[in-house]
C-alpha cells in the first residue's frame, strides 16, 4: 500500500531475508567446497570430480542430442550449404536475404497474431475451466470432467487436426452446422484467409487447454482454504475475492502457463500444417494466411531445400523466444508472488 | 454489541454428526469458551457462527437478527483461525487493512485504523513484513489485529494459542483476557485445553461428541461437574472416577460402597429415587483425598505405585485401588509410605461427586424441565441441594 520501493525499505527487507538463512548455510569464504576443508585433501579433490562424473551421462546425452545439433544449426545460419556438399561462408548474408523478404516479415506478423491471441485466450479459458472444475472437485463429480478436458491433449495432433479439418469444412462441417443453428453466419474457415487463423486457434485451444487447466487446478489446490475463508469473513466475495486473494496466489501458475503458451504457440507447426493441407503439398494457406514462422521454416528447408536459410530463421526464432522469456521473467517480479 | 443465540443447531458431515441439537445463549460482552477433546465439534460450531458452514437445522441469532443464511462478510464478525491464515502475499499492514479495503473505506481512515491496531498490538515495527517473515507469536498478533480491525461485534477464536510455545501461551492467555476486557467485544473462544478455558473465561461450555455436556462459570464446572465426562475432562490431574453402588438412607445421606469392604457416607440430602442400591460413578479430585491420619478410620486402601514430584508444594501419589488407578495429591513434607506398600486413604466426604452409572449425569439428576440452558440448570440444581445441607 505504501511505497514499497524506497531504497531504504528495500535494504531492510534484504537484511531480513539474509537473517532468515541459517548460519550453516550462509556463504563462507573459500567458495562452495570450503565446507569440506579439514576432512583431508582427498575429499576436497574427489568430491568435485565425483560430482562431474555423476552428471556426465545425462550431460553427454544433452550435448549429443541437443547442444551439438543446436550449435551446428546456429553455425549453419551463417553459411550457404546445399545437399550436394558445397559450403560457403556468407556472414550475415542469409539475414539480409530474409529481411528483404516480405513473406518472412508477414510470417513473423502471423506468428505474433497467433501468440498474442493465444496467450490471453488460453489463459482465460483454462483458468475459467479450472475454477468451474474446482467446484466439481469439491462435489466429487469433477473427475470425469477433468479427464474429458485433458483428453484432447493426449491425442496425436496430426490425427485430430484431420478430424478438425472436416469440422471446419464450409459445406458439411460441424462448425458451420452449429453456427447456422445459433443464427450465426456460415464461415469459410480454413478456406477463407480471414478465418483460417482463428480456425487454427480454435483447434490449438481445444488441443492444449486441458494441460493448462490441469496446471491451474493444481495451482488452485495449493491455495490454503483457510486464507480464502479468512477473506470471506473479512467481507470479500465474488470477483473481489478472486482479484485480491486467488489471482495473486495463483500468479506463479499463471506465469508458468503464459510462458508455456507463448513458447508452444510460437513453435506450433503440426496442427497448422495438417489443418491447412500440408499433406497434399499446400500448408500455410490460403494466401499465406497461416504461414507462421515455423511453417515457413519447414517449407524453406524441406520443400525448397534451403537449409541454411531455414537455419537462420530458426536462430532468429530462438533469439525471439529467449528475449520474450527473459522479458516475461523480468516483468514477473512485479506481479508474481512466490511463497 | 450482540447477544449470540444458537438455537437447536445440528450439523452432520457425510460420516458423522459434528454438532447435535445444540442450544446456547451468549451474553453481550461475554468471554465464552467452548472446550472439549479434539473432534468434538468446536471448529464446526465456530464456522457455523462465522457463516463458513451452514447448519443442517437450527438457527443462529445475533441479537434479534437471524443470520443463519447470511454471508460471512455480512455478519460483522472477526475470526482468528487456528493456523492464523494470514494473506501470504500481503504485508502486515495490508493484512490488517484487507477487510476495510474490501469495503471501500477511505484510504486515510484505513491508515488511521491500521496505526491504531498496530499500536494496540505492538505491531508498528512489523507493518512492512510479509507473514513468512514473522514468528509464531507475531503472526498470532497480526491475526488478532486483522480480526478486530473492523471493530466487529463478535470475535471468534479457534485455538489461537495452540501453535505457540508454552511460555508464550501462558502470557498470551492473560493478554487475550486483558484485551477482551479493554475492547468489550463479545468473544467466543475455542480450545481443547481445559486450563485455558477455566483460567480466562466468564463462562465455559464443555463439549463432547457434538453435544454440550455443561455450560457454566469455571467455578461451577470445576466444583459441580454435571456429568462424569466433565468431571474427568476438567481439572489437572483429572478427577478419580470409579464404579460403586449407593443406597440412600432415611435421612437422605448416601451410603456408598465399591465392594472393597468399606462403606462411607456422603452427606446429602440426596433425592431418593429407588429403594434398592443404585449403580453410580464416584468421583474424588486428587486433592480431596489424603493419607489417613493416626486414629482415623480409612475410607479406602490402595497400593502405592509411583510417587511423582508435583509443583514443589505437593506430591502426586499414583495408587491402585481394586484395579482402578487413583491419584492422590498430598503436601510435600508428609511422611510418604514405601512404593509397593499399602496406603490408607481418607476422602473429604463433602467433596465427593456421584454420577449415575447409566447416564453419566450428576446425582441427583436434575428434575427441572429442560430449558435453553438445561445444562446449567442441572448443575445448579445439584448445587442448591448441596448448599442447603451445608447451611442446615
Ligand atoms: N469438512 C468436513 N468433512 C467431514 N467431516 C468433518 C469436516 N469437518 C469436520 N468434520 C468432522 O466433524 C467432527 C467435528 O470436527 P471439528 O469441529 O473440526 O472438531 P474440533 O474442532 O472440536 O476438533 C469431527 O469428527 C470431524 O472429523
Ligand atoms: Mg478444531
Residue A166 lies in a domain: yes
The answer on A223 and A121 residing in a single domain is yes
- The residue contributing the CA closest to ligand 1 atom 20 is B39
Same domain assignment for residues A162 and A25: no
Q: Print the SS3 string covering chain A.
A: CCCCCCHHHHHHHHHHHHHHCCHHHCCCCCCHHHHHCCCCHHHHHHHHHHHHHHHHHHHHHHHHHHHHHHHHHHHHCCEEECCCCCEEECCCHHHHHHHCCHHHHHHHHHHHHHHHHHHHHHHHHHHHHHHHHHHHHHCCCHHHHHHHHHHHHHCCHHHHHHHHHHHCCCCCCHHHHHHHHCCCCCCCHHHCHHHHHHHHHHHHHHHHHHHHHHHHHHHHHCCCHHHHHHHHHCCCCHHHHHHHHHHHHHHHHHHHHHHHHHHHHHHCCHHHHHHCCHHHCCCCCCCCCCCCHHHHHHHHHHHCCCHHHHHHHHHHHHHHHHHHHHHHHHHHHHHCCCC
| Whether pLDDT at B245 is above 60 | yes
Domain B233-377: give its CATH code.
Answer: 2.40.50.140
Name which of A69-73, A105-109, B231-235, B307-311 the model is least confident about. B307-311
Contact: A227, B51; criterion CB under 8 Å? no
pLDDT for B198: 92
In the reported structure, the alpha carbon of residue B16 is separated from the centroid of ligand 1 by a whole-number distance in angstroms of: 9
Residues 210-249 of A with CB under 8 A from B: 224, 226-227, 229-237, 240, 244-245, 248-249
Query: Which chain A residue has the Cα nearest residue B91?
Result: A1
Torsion over CA of B361, B366, B367 and B369, rounded to 10 degrees?
-100
Task: Determine the pLDDT at residue A215.
Answer: 94
The total domain count for chain A is 2
Name the least confident of A48-62, A261-275, B206-220, B221-235: A48-62
Architecture of domain B2-223: 3-Layer(aba) Sandwich (3.40)
* Residues A179 and A39 reside in one and the same domain: no
Q: Which residue has the higher pLDDT, A24 or B52?
A: B52
Would you call B98 and A231 a contact, using CB atoms and an 8 Å cutoff? yes
The burial of B50, by beta-carbon neighbours within 10 Å (0-12 exposed, 13-18 middle, 19 or more buried), is given as buried
| Boundary residue ending a domain (A17, A44, A76) | A76
Ligand 2: distance of its center to the CA of B193 in Å? Answer: 12
Evaluate if residue B130 carries a pLDDT over 90.
yes
- Residue A68 sits in the same domain as residue A101: no
In a domain, A87, yes or no: no
Q: Is the pLDDT of residue A103 over 60?
A: yes
Least confident span in A227-231, B16-20, B161-165, B186-190:
B161-165
Answer whether B88 sits within 8 Å of A339, measured CB to CB: yes
Label the pairing between strands B154-158 and B77-80.
Answer: parallel
- Rounded to whole angstroms, the Cα distance separating B181 from B184 reads 5
CA dihedral B137, B139, B144, B145 (to 10 degrees): 120
Residues of A in contact with B89 (CB under 8 A): 248-249, 337, 339
**Dihedral (CA of B11, B13, B18, B20) sign:** positive
Average pLDDT over residues B101-105: 93
Which residues of chain A are within 8 Å of residue B124 when distances are taken between CB atoms?
none
Mean pLDDT of chain B: 86
Cβ of residue A12 closer than 8 Å to a chain B Cβ: yes
Pairing label, strands B77-80, A87-89: unpaired
Domain boundaries, chain B: 2-223, 233-377
Phi–psi pair at A26, nearest 5 degrees:
-65, 155
pLDDT at B389: 35
What is the torsional sign of CA B335, B340, B342, B345? Answer: positive
Residue with the nearest Cα to atom 13 of ligand 1?
B18
pLDDT recorded at residue A46: 67
Range of A63's domain?
Answer: 2-76
- A139 shares its domain with A58: no
Q: Is residue A219 part of a domain?
A: yes
Determine the atom of ligand 1 nearest the C-alpha atom of B47. Answer: 17
- Element containing residue B111 per DSSP (H, E): helix B107-120
In 3D space, the residue among B80, B76, B129 whose CA is nearest the CA of residue B103 turns out to be: B76
Between A127-141, A247-261, B239-253, B346-360, the lowest mean confidence (pLDDT) is in A127-141
pLDDT band at A31 (very low <50, low <70, confident <90, very high): very low
Q: HSE of B51 in the Cβ direction (CA atoms, 13 Å)? A: 24
pLDDT exceeds 60 at position B217 = yes
Mutation site for B-interface testing, chosen from A223, A227, A233 by largest number of B Cβ within 10 Å: A233
Q: Do A139 and A230 reside in the same domain of the chain?
A: yes
What pLDDT score does A167 carry? 92
Nearest protein CA to atom 25 of ligand 1, as residue = B39
Residue A208 within any structural domain of the chain: yes
- A193 vs A204: CA distance, rounded Å: 17
Mean pLDDT value across chain A:
83
Average pLDDT in the B97-126 region?
Answer: 93
Residue A49, domain member (yes or no):
yes
Is B93 at the interface with chain A, CB within 8 A? yes
- Does residue B327 sit in helix, strand or coil? strand
Model confidence band, residue B350 (pLDDT cutoffs 50, 70, 90): confident
Task: Mark whether A154 and A212 lie in a shared domain.
Answer: yes
pLDDT greater at residue A190 or residue B114: B114
**Which residues 139-178 of chain B have a CB within 8 Å of chain A?**
146, 150
pLDDT score of B377: 35
Q: Is the pLDDT of residue B369 over 80?
A: no
Which of A13, A223, A234, A254 to probe the B interface (max B CBs under 10 A)? Answer: A234
In a shared domain, residues A103 and A34: no
Closest CA to B256 of B328, B353, B322: B353
Torsions phi, psi for B225 (to 5 deg): -55, 135
pLDDT at residue A205 tops 80: yes
Mean pLDDT of A161-178: 90
Binning pLDDT at 50, 70 and 90, where does residue A140 land? low
* B285-335 tens-digit pLDDT: 999 998 888 888 888 889 999 998 877 788 899 999 888 889 999 888 778
Mean pLDDT of B264-277: 72
pLDDT tops 80 at residue A48: no
* Contact between chains at A232 and B89 (C-beta distance less than 8 A): no
Say if CB A121 and CB A262 are below 8 A apart: no
pLDDT confidence of B275, banded at 50, 70, 90?
A: low
Distance, CA B49 to ligand 2 centroid (Å)?
14
- Which pLDDT band holds residue B94 (cuts at 50, 70, 90)? very high
Does A256 fall in a domain? yes
b or e along A245-283 (b: 16 or more beta carbons within 10 Å of the residue's beta carbon)?
bbbbbbbbbbbbbbbebbebbbbbbbbbbbbbbbeeeeb
Alpha carbon distance A211, A213 (integer Å): 5
Average pLDDT over residues B2-16: 89
pLDDT at A233: 95
Rg (CA), chain B: 25
Q: Rounded to an integer, what distance in angstroms lies between the CA atom of residue B124 and that of residue B217?
A: 37
- Per-residue confidence (pLDDT) for residue A307, from 0 to 100: 86
Position B322 scores a pLDDT of 82
Q: Tell whether A61 and A163 lie within a shared domain.
A: no
Residues sharing a CB contact under 8 Å with residue A153, sequence separation 6 or more, in sequence order: A207, A208, A210, A211
Mean pLDDT across the stretch A24-51?
55
User: Closest Cα partner for A149 from A159, A158, A137, A139?
Assistant: A137
Q: Give the list of residues 6+ apart from residue B253 with CB closer than 8 angstroms, or none.
A: B265, B266, B267, B268, B269, B270
pLDDT > 90 in chain A, percent: 38
Closest CA to B192 of B162, B215, B148, B167: B162
Residue A323 is predicted with a pLDDT of: 92
- Return residues with CB closer than 5 A to ligand 2 (ion): B 43
- For B313, B328, B348, the CA distances from B331, given in Å and listed in that order, are 6, 10, 15
- Spatial neighbors of B298 by CB under 8 A, at least 6 apart, are B262, B292, B344, B345, B346
- A191 has a pLDDT exceeding 80: yes
Return the pLDDT at B191. 95
Higher pLDDT, B293 or B228: B228
Task: Say if A91 falls within a structural domain.
Answer: no
Percent of chain B with pLDDT over 70: 90
Does A253 lie in the same domain as A217? Answer: yes
Identify the residues whose C-beta falls under 6 Å from ligand 1: B 13-14, 16, 18, 36, 38-44
Give pLDDT, residue A331.
86
For residue B237, whether the previous peptide bond is cis, meaning omega lies within 30 degrees of 0, is: yes
pLDDT band at A254 (very low <50, low <70, confident <90, very high): very high
Give the mean model confidence (pLDDT) for residues A1-23.
46
Same domain? A168 vs A30: no
Co-location of A146 and A231 in the same domain: yes
Compute the distance between CA of residue A7 and CA of residue A27 in angstroms, rounded to an integer: 24
**A221: CATH:** 1.10.3720.10
Query: What pLDDT shows up at residue B327?
Result: 93
- The verdict on a CB contact (< 8 Å) between B102 and A13 is no
Ranges A314-328, B32-46, B301-315: which has the least confidence: B301-315
Is it the case that residue A29 has pLDDT exceeding 80?
no
CA of B55 to the centre of ligand 1 (A): 13
- pLDDT over 50 (residue A234): yes
H or E element at residue B391 = helix B374-391
| pLDDT greater than 80 at residue B74 | yes
Amino acid at each position: 500500500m505504501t511505497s514499497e520501493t524506497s531504497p531504504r525499505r528495500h535494504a531492510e527487507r534484504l537484511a531480513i531475508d539474509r537473517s532468515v538463512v541459517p548460519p550453516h548455510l550462509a556463504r563462507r569464504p573459500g567458495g562452495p567446497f570450503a565446507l569440506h576443508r579439514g576432512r583431508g585433501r582427498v575429499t576436497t579433490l574427489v568430491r568435485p570430480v565425483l560430482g562431474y562424473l555423476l552428471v556426465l551421462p545425462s550431460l553427454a546425452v544433452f550435448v549429443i542430442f541437443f547442444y551439438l545439433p543446436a550449435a551446428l544449426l546456429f553455425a549453419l545460419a551463417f553459411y550457404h550449404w546445399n545437399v550436394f556438399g558445397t559450403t560457403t561462408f556468407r556472414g550475415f548474408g542469409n539475414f539480409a536475404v530474409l529481411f528483404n523478404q516480405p513473406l518472412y516479415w508477414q510470417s513473423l506478423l502471423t506468428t505474433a497474431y497467433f501468440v498474442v491471441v493465444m496467450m490471453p485466450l488460453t489463459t482465460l479459458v483454462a483458468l475459467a475451466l479450472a475454477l468451474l472444475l474446482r467446484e466439481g472437485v469439491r462435489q466429487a463429480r469433477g473427475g470425469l470432467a477433468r479427464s474429458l478436458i485433458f483428453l484432447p491433449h493426449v491425442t496425436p495432433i496430426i490425427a485430430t487436426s484431420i478430424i478438425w479439418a472436416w469440422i471446419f469444412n464450409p459445406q458439411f462441417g460441424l462448425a458451420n452446422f452449429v453456427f447456422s443453428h445459433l443464427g450465426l453466419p456460415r464461415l469459410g474457415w480454413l478456406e477463407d484467409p480471414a478465418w483460417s487463423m482463428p480456425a487454427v486457434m480454435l483447434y490449438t485451444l481445444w488441443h492444449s487447454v486441458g494441460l493448462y487447466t490441469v496446471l491451474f487446478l493444481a495451482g488452485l489446490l495449493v491455495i490454503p482454504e483457510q486464507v480464502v475463508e479468512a477473506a470471506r469473513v473479512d467481507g470479500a466475495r465474488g470477483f473481489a475475492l478472486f482479484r485480491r486473494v486467488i489471482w495473486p496466489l495463483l500468479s506463479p501458475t499463471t506465469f508458468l502457463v503464459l510462458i508455456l503458451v507463448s513458447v508452444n504457440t510460437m513453435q506450433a507447426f503440426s496442427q497448422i500444417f495438417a489443418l491447412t493441407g500440408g499433406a497434399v503439398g499446400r500448408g500455410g494457406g490460403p494466401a499465406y494466411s497461416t504461414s507462421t514462422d515455423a511453417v515457413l521454416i519447414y517449407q524453406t528447408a524441406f520443400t525448397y531445400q534451403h537449409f541454411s536459410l531455414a537455419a537462420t530463421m530458426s536462430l532468429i526464432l530462438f533469439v525471439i523466444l529467449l528475449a520474450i522469456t527473459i522479458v516475461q521473467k523480468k516483468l514477473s517480479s512485479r506481479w508474481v508472488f512466490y511463497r | 454489541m450482540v447477544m449470540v443465540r444458537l438455537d437447536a443447531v445440528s450439523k452432520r458431515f457425510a460420516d458423522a454428526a459434528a454438532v447435535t441439537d445444540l442450544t446456547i445463549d451468549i451474553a453481550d460482552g461475554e468471554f465464552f469458551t467452548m472446550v472439549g477433546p479434539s473432534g468434538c465439534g468446536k471448529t464446526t460450531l465456530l464456522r457455523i457462527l462465522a457463516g463458513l458452514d451452514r447448519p443442517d437445522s437450527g438457527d443462529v441469532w445475533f441479537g434479534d437478527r437471524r443470520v443463519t443464511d447470511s454471508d460471512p462478510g455480512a455478519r460483522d464478525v472477526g475470526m482468528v483461525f487456528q493456523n492464523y491464515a494470514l494473506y501470504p502475499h500481503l504485508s502486515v499492514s495490508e493484512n490488517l487493512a484487507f477487510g476495510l479495503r474490501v469495503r471501500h473505506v477511505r484510504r486515510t481512515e484505513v491508515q488511521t485504523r491500521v496505526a491504531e491496531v498496530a499500536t494496540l498490538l505492538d505491531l508498528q515495527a512489523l507493518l512492512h513484513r510479509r507473514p513468512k517473515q514473522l514468528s509464531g507469536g507475531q503472526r498470532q498478533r497480526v491475526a488478532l489485529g486483522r480480526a478486530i480491525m473492523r471493530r466487529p461485534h463478535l470475535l471468534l477464536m479457534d485455538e489461537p494459542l495452540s501453535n505457540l510455545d508454552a511460555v508464550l501461551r501462558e502470557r498470551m492467555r492473560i493478554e487475550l483476557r486483558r484485551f477482551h476486557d479493554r475492547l468489550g467485544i463479545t468473544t467466543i473462544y475455542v480450545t481443547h485445553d481445559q486450563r485455558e478455558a477455566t483460567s480466562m473465561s466468564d463462562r465455559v461450555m464443555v463439549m463432547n461428541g457434538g453435544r454440550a455436556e455443561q455450560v457454566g462459570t469455571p467455578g461451577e464446572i470445576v466444583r459441580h461437574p454435571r456429568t462424569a465426562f466433565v468431571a474427568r475432562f476438567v481439572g489437572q490431574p483429572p478427577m478419580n472416577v470409579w464404579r460403586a453402588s449407593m443406597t440412600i438412607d432415611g435421612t437422605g445421606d448416601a451410603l456408598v460402597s465399591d465392594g472393597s469392604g468399606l462403606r462411607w457416607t456422603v452427606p446429602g440430602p440426596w433425592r431418593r429415587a429407588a429403594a434398592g442400591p443404585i449403580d453410580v460413578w464416584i468421583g474424588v479430585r486428587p486433592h480431596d483425598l489424603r493419607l489417613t491420619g493416626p486414629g482415623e478410620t480409612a475410607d479406602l486402601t490402595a497400593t502405592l505405585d509411583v510417587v511423582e514430584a508435583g509443583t514443589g508444594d505437593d506430591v502426586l501419589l499414583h495408587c491402585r485401588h481394586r484395579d482402578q488407578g487413583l491419584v492422590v495429591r498430598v503436601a510435600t513434607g508428609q511422611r510418604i509410605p514405601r512404593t509397593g506398600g499399602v496406603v490408607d486413604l481418607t476422602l473429604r466426604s463433602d467433596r465427593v461427586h456421584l454420577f449415575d452409572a447409566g447416564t453419566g449425569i450428576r446425582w441427583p439428576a436434575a428434575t427441572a424441565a429442560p430449558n435453553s440452558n438445561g445444562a446449567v440448570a442441572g448443575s445448579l440444581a445439584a448445587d442448591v441441594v448441596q448448599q442447603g445441607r451445608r447451611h442446615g
